[in-house]
Chain A
Amino acid sequence: MTQNQPSELAILLEGVSVSRGERVVLEDLRLAVPRGRITAVMGPSGSGKTTVLRLITGQLQPDAGQVLVGGEDVGEMSASRLNRMRRNIGVLLQNGALFTDLTCFDNVALPLREHTALPETLIRRLVLAKLQAVGLRGASDFYPRELSGGMVRRVALARALALDPAIMLYDEPFAGLDPISLGASLRLIRDLNRILGITSVVTTHDVAEVPKFADYCYIIADRRVVASGTPAELRDADERVVRQFMDGLPDGPVPFHFPARPLAEDLLA
């Protein structure tokens, strides 16, 4: 299986199904992430975008199918192998998830102190360089509670990059950002990819921003990939579900209404 996959794939989800209790979240999903590119995973809220990321990091095991990272099945990895893989993956969680009892500096230093034997002077330089890259070197002594939401996420990005990962996963990096922070985040993601060649997976529902950074897009809805292609291809696609998502139409193949009895029945009961 692994041999006949093109080696340019950093991540491959093949025939993956996930369910939570009765509810099926993903069904027979196939998603490939080429190495050194930015792949966007789009879809309405609750469509399983974050689930895809949790599958890649091995926080969640699929009920069926396999998740390959660097050609290796995440489900088959031993605990120590999984930890080694995670050191190679940077994850930016939705709200940053900085440790509230540590300063920004110590937050970024934590993975370095934990996983390397570098002397403190070198760690200091590395941390300041990472914070400089996200423009927050001046805030290194601040606690997360003293920063705005956008700044917290930038520090979290510096922390995710601390160990120079080969793969970066961004969970909704643009949600709730003001236009300036959004532009800055976009540029950071693009630059990291271009300069360091980091393979990136970005989940978002911000349709307008996707063409500005993504090389390839997947749209997940109704438990599966409903469309995929370059941003230009998706923009010109005719399929109804793609149109609904790209044009932001309230109703269509993805229903506006939660499943219910007919309205008349409910009102006249």
Chain B
Amino acid sequence: MRGPMTDRGIFRPVRDVGRAGVFLVRAFGRMRFGRTQWLEIMRQVYFVGARSLVIIVTCGFFVGLVLTLQTYDTLSRFGATDAVGTVLALSLFRELGPVLTAILFAGRAGTSVTAEIGLMRATEQLDALDLMAIDPMERIVQPRLLAGVVAVPALTLIFNLLAILGGVVYAIFLMKVSPGTFWGNMQVNVDLGRDFLGGVFKSAVFGFIVSWLSVFFGWYARPTGEGVALATTQTVIASAISVLLVDFVLSAFLL
């Protein structure tokens, strides 16, 4: 697998993308959704989701606060502060919610999945599974990959909710925008399918990408302390880049 040529320079990222693709095919090569597998997926959704709640809730609230602050300031120069609720909701549902949640998720849950799988490799737990005739791809990789697809949209909804709450605090309580205008404009101008569900769809795609990269880097981490540390760093970097790149493509073509 490792030719000297493919280990250097521009070939390396190309090789890594290829490997990640092959890895994905292998991960889903054998899908048997028995009872144990469903339970394991739900367990992982709980792990990655619950672990990320604190950071999602706090960041969501403050993003809502600061976003409303900046938007209100900008809109007041045009005398259009009535639109603050609309701008807040649209930018959150369409972009900031899915993207920021995915990147925060990569930093919190993605890294821990990478470290977990890397350590399982280093401490021979993956070998032990193999030796017990249990496929680690099926038992370890698949549930963690699918958990991200479920957890990230759910976390995005929580992020959006808290951000809107932050917006309410700033616009309605501090700047005295009338609640009727705030909510009314938001309701009229936000399209449930295109804006809201479009964002949820994006976040599911991001969840898939982040958890794919997390299990991939964990799986191929060198089985040492440094190797695992490097792999977690790679997870964050690769996740952030891929999420923003895919976000542009999805936004341009879908929304």
Contacts and interface: CB of A to CB of B under 8 A. Distances in A.
A97 B133 contact: no
B131 A91 contact: yes
A130 B127 CA distance: 22
B224 interface: no
A86 B125 contact: no
Contacts of B130: 59, 86
B17 interface: no
Interface string B130-168: 111110000000000000000000000000000000000
Nearest to A101: B116
A39 interface: no
A100 B119 CA distance: 10
Contacts of A178: none
B146 to A, nearest CB: 18
A100 B131 contact: no
A95 B123 contact: yes
A95 B124 contact: yes
Interface of B is mostly: helix
Contacts of A115: 132-133
Contact of A59 (B123, B125, B127, B134): B127
Interface stretch (A22-30, A106-114, A203-211): A106-114
A201 interface: no
B124 A87 contact: no
A89 B131 contact: yes
Contacts, number: 46
A106 to B, nearest CB: 12
A193 interface: no
A87 B123 CA distance: 21
B134 A97 contact: no
A93 B124 contact: yes
Interface in A98-154: 98-100, 110-111, 113-115
Contacts of B119: 100
Among A87, A97, A98, max chain B CB count under 10 A is at: A97
A94 B122 CA distance: 12
A82 B135 CA distance: 12
Interface in A157-214: none
A235 interface: no
A95 B131 CA distance: 15
A84 to B, nearest CB: 7
Contact of A100 (B123, B132, B133): B123
A19 interface: no
A57 interface: yes
Contacts of A97: 123-125, 127-128
A86 B132 contact: yes
A87 B125 contact: no
B125 A110 contact: no
Contacts of A113: 36
A86 B133 contact: yes
B132 A111 contact: yes
B190 to A, nearest CB: 42
A91 B125 CA distance: 12
Contacts of B134: 110-111, 114
A82 B132 CA distance: 11
A93 B128 contact: yes
A93 B127 contact: yes
Contacts of B131: 57, 59, 86, 89, 91, 93
A7 interface: no
A2 interface: no
Nearest to A89: B131
Interface string B96-140: 000000000000000000000001000111011011111000000
23 contacts: A59-B127, A59-B130, A83-B133, A86-B131, A86-B132, A86-B133, A87-B132, A87-B133, A91-B128, A93-B128, A93-B131, A94-B124, A97-B127, A98-B125, A98-B128, A99-B125, A100-B123, A110-B132, A110-B134, A111-B134, A114-B132, A114-B133, A114-B134
Interface of B: 36, 119, 123-125, 127-128, 130-134
Closest 7 CB pairs of A and B: A97-B124, A83-B133, A97-B128, A86-B133, A91-B131, A111-B132, A93-B124
Given A87-B133, A99-B125, A115-B132, 11 more contacts: A86-B130, A87-B132, A93-B131, A95-B123, A97-B124, A97-B125, A100-B123, A100-B125, A114-B132, A114-B134, A115-B133
